[in-house]
């Protein structure tokens, strides 16, 4: 049917013509010179130099300010570094724009370290220029410090893993370096350590989800010897243990299917599927138990829950 013949089109057309533009036929008035000058001045005042704005915010971070002020400054910087040109200019600032961010990542409060990591992750995400700048300024040791410091809680460890994930994604040279030295396997193993006991905490769930996603991502991007090297005995054992515990946790929570738990379970199943077959036997056995329980309750699920279950079952079938 031609669109103009469609009843809905006709109804909309009649609605439009019955509500004409009130400004149609109205001649725009010219601004007198005084009002024009005022408008131009107001517009000029509203335009800021984004780079100068970020420099001032970075300078603020070097001062003796409160945690709240640090977080406010980091939030403002985050919005700016989403632009590639601003992220790439961090290395060109005087003083260096990376320095205060990396300092806060190493030594701030847990909330500040988390916020600094978000800025740094955004700046390097899919950005080879910023990745190279950050690498030359030792961002990886700074991120690893989030995993190894005595007071590292789940927020801080998650902050470190967010940077490691952003830095290694599609970054073949860094992947090779970190896997060959065993550093990446160590980071993943340490990040997952001790998480099983605190699955109820949202910060732990975010840490586990982020870390297991990194395992899956690397498995897809690597091949041959590097992929084999990634799956060290310690890493396989850690992923197998945590993924199995995640599946168990999902089974115990049924019939509740909250989004965060479902997402964590999806990432656990995806990561487990990348392990050598012998290394995922426990996860597979626990997944079959979860599958039976899901089959038992599926008739009482709403549409969104049923869709989540279908996706989970598909992942379990792939183990």
The CATH number of whichever domain residue 153 belongs to comes to 1.25.10.10
Reply yes or no on whether the pLDDT at 158 is more than 70.
yes
Same domain (yes/no): 97, 152: yes
- For residues 183-188, give the mean pLDDT: 91
Place of tokens 């605190």: 198
Res. 1 pLDDT band, cuts 50 70 90 = very low
Structural tokens at position 148 = 């190894």
Is 310 a member of any domain?
yes
Same domain (yes/no): 298, 201: yes
- Per the model's pLDDT, the better-predicted residue between 30 and 266 turns out to be 266
Reply yes or no on whether the pLDDT at 240 is more than 90.
yes
Same domain (yes/no): 187, 162: no
Is 133 a member of any domain?
yes
Is 16 a member of any domain?
no
Reply yes or no on whether the pLDDT at 124 is more than 90.
yes
Is 33 a member of any domain?
no
Reply yes or no on whether the pLDDT at 196 is more than 80.
yes
Same domain (yes/no): 154, 253: no
Same domain (yes/no): 103, 150: yes
Give this prediction's pTM. Answer: 0.79
Same domain (yes/no): 292, 222: yes
The Cα 113–Cα 110 span in angstroms is 5
- Per the model's pLDDT, the better-predicted residue between 203 and 48 turns out to be 203
Place of tokens 């309750």: 297
Range scoring the smallest mean pLDDT among 24-33, 142-151, 153-162: 24-33
Is 4 a member of any domain?
no
Same domain (yes/no): 74, 128: yes
Which tens digits make up the pLDDT trace of 23-75?
A: 566 666 676 788 777 777 766 666 578 898 899 999 999 888 899 999 999 99
Is 1 a member of any domain?
no
What is the domain range of residue 263? Answer: 172-319
Q: Around Cβ 25, how many Cβ atoms within 10 Å?
A: 7
Same domain (yes/no): 177, 119: no
Same domain (yes/no): 83, 131: yes
Same domain (yes/no): 250, 310: yes
Reply yes or no on whether the pLDDT at 122 is more than 80.
yes
Structural tokens at position 232 = 């060290």
Place of tokens 């599927």: 273
Is 156 a member of any domain?
yes
Same domain (yes/no): 161, 176: no
Is 81 a member of any domain?
yes
The total number of structural domains in the chain stands at: 2
Which residue in 174, 116, 122, 123 sits closest to 143, CA to CA?
116
Res. 278 pLDDT band, cuts 50 70 90 = confident
* Average pLDDT, rounded, for the chain: 87
Same domain (yes/no): 246, 309: yes
Last residue of a domain, one of 170, 189, 207: 170
């Amino acid at each position: 049917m031609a669109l103009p013949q469609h009843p809905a089109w006709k109804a909309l057309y009649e609605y439009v013509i019955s509500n004409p533009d009130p400004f149609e036929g109205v001649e725009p008035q010219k601004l007198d010179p005084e009002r024009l000058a005022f408008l131009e001045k107001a517009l000029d005042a509203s335009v800021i130099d984004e780079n100068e704005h970020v420099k001032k915010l970075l300078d603020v971070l070097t001062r003796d300010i409160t945690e709240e002020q640090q977080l406010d400054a980091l939030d403002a910087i985050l919005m700016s570094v989403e632009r590639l040109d601003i992220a790439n200019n961090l290395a060109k600032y005087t003083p260096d724009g990376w320095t205060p961010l990396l300092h806060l990542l190493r030594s701030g409060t847990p909330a500040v370290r988390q916020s600094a990591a978000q800025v740094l992750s955004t700046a390097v995400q899919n950005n080879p220029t910023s990745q190279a700048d950050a690498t030359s300024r030792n961002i990886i040791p700074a991120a690893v410090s989030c995993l190894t410091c005595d007071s590292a809680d789940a927020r801080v460890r998650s902050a470190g893993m967010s940077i490691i994930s952003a830095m290694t994604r599609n970054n073949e040279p860094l992947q090779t370096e970190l896997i060959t030295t065993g550093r990446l396997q160590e980071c993943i193993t340490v990040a997952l350590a001790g998480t099983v006991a605190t699955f109820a905490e949202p910060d732990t769930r975010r840490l586990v989800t982020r870390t297991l996603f990194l395992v899956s991502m690397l498995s897809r991007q690597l091949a041959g010897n590097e992929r084999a090297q990634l799956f060290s005995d310690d890493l396989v054992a850690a992923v197998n243990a945590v993924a199995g515990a995640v599946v168990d946790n999902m089974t115990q929570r049924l019939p509740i299917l909250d989004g965060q738990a479902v997402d964590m379970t999806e990432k656990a199943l995806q990561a487990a599927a990348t392990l050598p077959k012998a290394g995922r036997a426990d996860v597979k056995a626990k997944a079959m138990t979860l599958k039976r329980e899901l089959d038992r309750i599926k008739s009482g699920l709403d549409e969104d829950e049923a869709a989540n279950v279908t996706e989970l079952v598909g992942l379990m079938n792939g183990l």
